[in-house]
């Protein structure tokens, strides 16, 4: 049995279940396995033994329970990833998974009980982020200032990255989503949560959008010369729809780069749309009249409004990744996906399922008659140069 370079903490108050988990982890070759009967004991163990890569965590126990433990390690970053192992009902475990994500912890999977060796083996094969080994750094957002983010825009540090959407049957690219990354000169490449709130407060979202569009449309011209012309999807905030100049500026860019409106899709989150004034509808209509697609993003993650979905001229539904994560063990997730696929078909809208990471998820979605997906199974977000190289190797997911 090859050894896994993993330090794992088992948090379980039932002595037999705890011993079983420890034995399985050692059988699977984990480098070090620690055990604790409650959250307080687990936190004390972390202070003494140091951070661990994975916490295999039960939830309901006397004293400091699993939720309190997760909240504590979310702040300290002494745990890289979390695997849930609990007898709680599926809907409660799904809520806990959302809490894990909100705490900034990586969620590896939900095993339920009794523990299954093969299911555990599969989760241990996933990439595991390293836990913090020293003081937790201040979030980049706290250190960023308005003058710094303005300079980043002017210096071209906010760069577009591209994540493909793919046909689940053939692996062919259906389109790419354009995502922003901050190539910070001293902190490396920063993800959107590190700078998006600051851009919003400084009212710089239009500057970001049109800067990203210029670079992405230049890349689109290069891709056309290489025989590729995937649809490009840009994130758009509901607050940007109140600007009467939005659609004309987009049209001018399309003319300048010789790109048809049908080559673009604009993705809007449902939570933002619920707050959007009626005056924003005219910009959505204008974009559709230009041939652009409109996607409702993270569908199901907020407070869905079927009335709003039917009233606005959307062409695509993007189903939130949380439903795919629970697909194999949570029947409600399968029902939600099936219902959304049926809704999209009835409304004449395509459905893109986000967060596909495994072949098992892909096959399950194919059985549900899902056609299009997005996720790490096909590709992670990449730079423009990497995308050109990647497209030259198609198909990659067949």
Residue 169: both structure tokens together: 């049957």
Asked if 177 is an active-site residue, the reply is no
Say which residues have a Cβ less than 8 Å from residue 219's Cβ, sequence separation at least 6. 160, 162, 384, 387, 388
DSSP for 36-97? ESSHHHHHHHHHHH--EEEEEE----SSS-HHHHHHHHHHHT-EEEEEE---S-HHHHHHHH
Indicate the DSSP class of residue 326. T
Q: How far apart are CA 130 and CA 147, in angstroms?
A: 32
DSSP labels for 282-303?
HHHHHHHHTT-EEEEEEETSS-
- Region for 47 from its dihedrals, namely left if φ exceeds 0, alpha if ψ lies in -120 to 50, beta otherwise: alpha
Residue 109 half-sphere exposure toward CB, CA atoms < 13 A: 22
Return d(Cα 86, Cα 99) in angstroms, integer. 15
Cα(38)–Cα(60) distance, integer angstroms: 9
Q: What are phi and psi of 72, to 5 degrees?
A: -65, -45
Q: Of these residues, 267, 270, 316, 354, which one is catalytic? A: 354
CB-based contacts of 255, cutoff 8 Å, min separation 6: none
Half-sphere exposure of 103 (CA within 13 A, CB side): 25
CA–CA distance, 7 with 166 (Å, rounded to integer): 35
d(CA 213, CA 221): 12
56: β partners: 10, 83
Q: Report residue 333 as tokens.
A: 């997730």
d(CA 238, CA 270): 9
The set of catalytic residues is 354
């Amino acid at each position: 049995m090859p050894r896994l370079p993993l330090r794992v903490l088992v948090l379980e108050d039932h002595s037999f279940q705890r011993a079983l988990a420890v034995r399985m982890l050692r059988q699977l070759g984990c480098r070090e396995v620690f055990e604790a009967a409650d959250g307080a004991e687990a936190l004390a163990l972390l202070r003494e033994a140091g951070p661990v890569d994975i916490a295999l965590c039960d939830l309901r126990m006397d004293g400091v329970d699993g939720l309190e433990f997760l909240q504590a390690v979310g702040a300290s970053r002494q745990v890289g990833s979390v695997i849930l192992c609990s007898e709680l009902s599926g809907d409660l475990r799904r809520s806990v998974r959302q809490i894990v994500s909100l705490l900034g912890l990586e969620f590896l999977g939900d095993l339920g009980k009794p523990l299954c060796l093969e299911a555990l083996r599969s989760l241990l094969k996933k990439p595991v982020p390293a836990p913090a080994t020293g003081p937790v750094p201040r979030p980049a957002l706290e250190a960023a200032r308005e003058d710094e983010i303005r300079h980043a825009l002017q210096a071209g540090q906010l760069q577009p990255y591209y994540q493909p959407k793919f046909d689940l049957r053939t692996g062919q690219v259906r389109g790419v989503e354009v995502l922003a990354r901050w190539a910070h000169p001293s902190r490396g490449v920063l993800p959107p949560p590190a700078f998006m709130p600051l851009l919003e407060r400084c009212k710089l979202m239009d500057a970001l959008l049109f800067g990203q569009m210029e670079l992405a449309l230049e890349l689109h011209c290069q891709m056309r010369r290489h025989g590729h012309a995937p649809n490009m999807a840009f994130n758009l905030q509901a607050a940007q729809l109140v600007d009467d100049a939005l659609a004309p500026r987009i049209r001018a860019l399309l003319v300048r780069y010789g790109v048809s409106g049908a080559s673009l899709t604009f993705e809007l989150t449902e939570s933002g749309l619920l707050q959007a004034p009626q005056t924003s509808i005219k910009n959505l209509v204008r974009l559709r009249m230009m041939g652009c697609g409109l996607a409702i993003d993270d569908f199901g993650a907020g407070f869905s409004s079927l009335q709003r979905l039917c009233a606005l001229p959307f062409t695509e539904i993007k189903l939130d990744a949380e439903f795919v994560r629970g697909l194999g063990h949570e029947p409600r997730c399968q029902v939600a996906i099936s219902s959304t696929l049926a809704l999209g078909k009835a409304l004449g809208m395509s459905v893109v399922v986000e967060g596909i990471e495994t072949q098992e998820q892909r096959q399950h979605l194919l059985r549900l008659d899902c056609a299009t997906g997005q996720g790490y199974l096909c590709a992670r977000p990449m730079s423009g140069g990497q995308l050109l190289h990647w497209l030259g190797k198609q198909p990659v997911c067949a």
